Structure 1
Amino acid sequence: MIESEQTTSVSQVFEQFLTPPRKSPSAKEQKLIEQAEIFSIPSKIADLTAYSWGEGATVLIVHGWGGRGTQFGSFVKPLVDSGYRVLAFDAPAHGKTVGKQTNGFELAEAIATIAAKESPIDTIIAHSLGATSTALALSKEVFARKVVCLASLCWLSSSVKRFAKLAKLSQQAEDELYRLMENKFGKDVWDIVSVDKRVANLSIPALLFHDRADRDCSLRESEAISQAWQNSQLIVTEGLGHNRILRDEQVVQQTVNFIKEQNI
């Protein structure tokens, strides 16, 4: 009975792991939404709610787990003023896009779908799991000139371990959570979602930002990605954590400067 109850509990935790939290947009985000062209991009998973500002070469925004396309408001005006079109979207089961559960593979598929429909994509700016899924998509087909990754997650295994710790699972229950992941996504899921392996053959320029004090995703994850990515640079920030990095003026300006640079 105890073992059965524990299995049920771990199954519930697994369901929670696949269920992103939904948060309402802030007042600043709401103003940004009012200024946007809002439209729908059909995909196999769901009709994705998309937002567009400005005209010019397209910069695609990819948010992270539990995020929204409008989280990147600090990037919109500087990019639009620099002559770019900014395209953001709500991932499946996020923001205004329908769904209850999703995962990084679905997000990668959504990114590839948008890239195909909105081609050409000049640059992708991605946060957290969004950066992971961007790498997965690009490892299959390179469809952007440059990439900017913020607080990147490198290994799915470390994400599961952190989630198990937050759920206060025993080692036995944590092992069961890993087994459930393999049952759903295959035993090679840990190798597939190892971004350092996926980007090893990429040569497009990449700029990575990661905060030393990020409690949600360790700096060592971006360090591993940067070491594997042939043409990348890692900038380590201080005191911004996992989400404030999206609003930092220096991060935004460095990103804009990087995008505007011509490939050598």
Structure 2
Amino acid sequence: MGLKEGIRFITLKSVGSYINILSYVRPQKALALSYALFSQPRIGRLQKDKLPKILQNTETETFHHNEHHFQTYVWKGNDTKILLVHGWESNASRWKKTLPYLQKSGSTIIAIDAPAHGQSSGKEFNVPLYAEFINKAVEKYQPTMIIGHSIGGAACVYHQYLFPNTSINKMVILGAPSDLKILIDNYVSMLSLNTKMFSLLESRFADRFNFKLEDFSGKKFASGFNIPGLVAHDTADNIVAIEEGKKIASNWRNSQFIETKGIGHGMHDDELYQKVIEFLFSE
């Protein structure tokens, strides 16, 4: 553990201790704080006048959805459309290395900014809201293919579960978590939160989204899928364990699983991209 990681570890543990103490005296405040830490990204925002180069020469569109708005970026090509869905503390520019491969196919590429990321609105990120954003973009652009990375992949899986009959007929999921419960467990252990905090968080999710933690599972969602899928995950992924990707693929009838070695959570790899292209463009 380097100095930076050491400091982060100490701050996380001390934030955790503070929340634990608070849970006895002011449980609602402790809950608000721990939920905010879990759901509010600290990086990944973009400013309109300082966009990364990759996003500068795109056609952009701002969608409005209830009190939210979200941003899309389009690289024009032919009538085949591919929608790209990024992960946590990231934004549409994360696809910079992926784009050249997809553009070789001549396709039109559309990338979306998640809630509270990029140029989209809000402070809080959550998968159900992301799935609604994805659905608005799918309705508008009618993509036939969708690629999701990390929690963006989880949002694609949830979207497909909620809206099985859209234009999408192929899906690629990279380094994605399956079970929300695992994410919460990891978060709780990272902060060393007490069991009281765990059950408070659990009921917060149940109240907020109207589902039990263990029901929010990519493995469960994928069991009803009919479209073909490619699920890829790296053995050295230290953000989301490879078991999570395997879970999603295990229940998905028409899917293939690719295990990569040593490319980590980012999943940027020439060989992998070749396989993604083959999957998307083979009959």
* TM over 0.5, shorter chain: yes
Tell me, yes or no, if the aligned pair for 2:42 and 2:89 is still in contact at 8 Å: yes
**Are residues 1:18 and 2:39 paired?**
yes
Deviations 1:167-200 (A, max 9, x none): 2212332222222222322353431x21111111
**Are residues 1:240 and 2:263 paired?**
yes
Match of 1:154 in 2: 178
Tell me, yes or no, if the aligned pair for 2:235 and 2:259 is still in contact at 8 Å: yes
Tell me, yes or no, if the aligned pair for 1:58 and 1:85 is still in contact at 8 Å: yes
| Amino acid across the alignment from 1:42 | H
95-104 or 146-155: bigger deviation: 95-104
| Amino acid across the alignment from 1:146 | K
Partners of 2:67 and 2:184 lie apart in 1 by: 23
Equivalent residues in 2 for 1:8-87 (5 A)?
A: 8-23=29-44, 30-56=52-78, 57-87=80-110
Q: CA deviation at 1:7?
A: 5.0
CA spacing shift, 1:188–1:170, aligned 2, 3 Å: closer
Partners of 1:95 and 1:55 lie apart in 2 by: 23
**Are residues 1:125 and 2:158 paired?**
no
Q: CA deviation at 1:22?
A: 2.3
Tell me, yes or no, if the aligned pair for 2:45 and 2:119 is still in contact at 8 Å: no
Equivalent residues in 2 for 1:1-264 (5 A)?
A: 3-5=24-26, 8-23=29-44, 30-56=52-78, 57-119=80-142, 121-142=143-164, 143=166, 144-191=168-215, 193-243=216-266, 245=267, 247-262=268-283
Q: CA deviation at 1:74?
A: 1.3
Q: CA deviation at 1:35?
A: 2.6
Q: CA deviation at 1:230?
A: 0.3
Partners of 1:12 and 1:254 lie apart in 2 by: 42
- State the number of aligned residues: 255
> Which secondary structure state, in structure 2, belongs to the residue aligned with residue 41 of structure 1?
strand
CA RMSD of aligned residues (A): 1.8
Partners of 1:9 and 1:221 lie apart in 2 by: 29
**Segments ≥4 residues shifted beyond 4 Å:** none
Deviations 1:198-249 (A, max 9, x none): 1111121101110112111111111111110001011111112212x1x211
Tell me, yes or no, if the aligned pair for 1:136 and 1:195 is still in contact at 8 Å: yes
Partners of 2:116 and 2:214 lie apart in 1 by: 23
Q: CA deviation at 1:116?
A: 0.6
Q: CA deviation at 1:6?
A: 5.5
Q: CA deviation at 1:5?
A: 4.0
Q: Percent identity?
A: 25
Tell me, yes or no, if the aligned pair for 1:7 and 1:173 is still in contact at 8 Å: no
Tell me, yes or no, if the aligned pair for 1:11 and 1:177 is still in contact at 8 Å: no
Point out where structure 1 has 5 or more consecutive residues left out of the alignment. none
Partners of 2:122 and 2:28 lie apart in 1 by: 26
Tell me, yes or no, if the aligned pair for 2:45 and 2:117 is still in contact at 8 Å: no
CA spacing shift, 1:199–1:34, aligned 2, 3 Å: same
> What TM-score comes out, normalization by structure 2 length?
0.84
Partners of 2:39 and 2:45 lie apart in 1 by: 19
| Amino acid across the alignment from 2:148 | A
Deviations 1:121-173 (A, max 9, x none): 11100011111111111112232110000011100000011111222212332
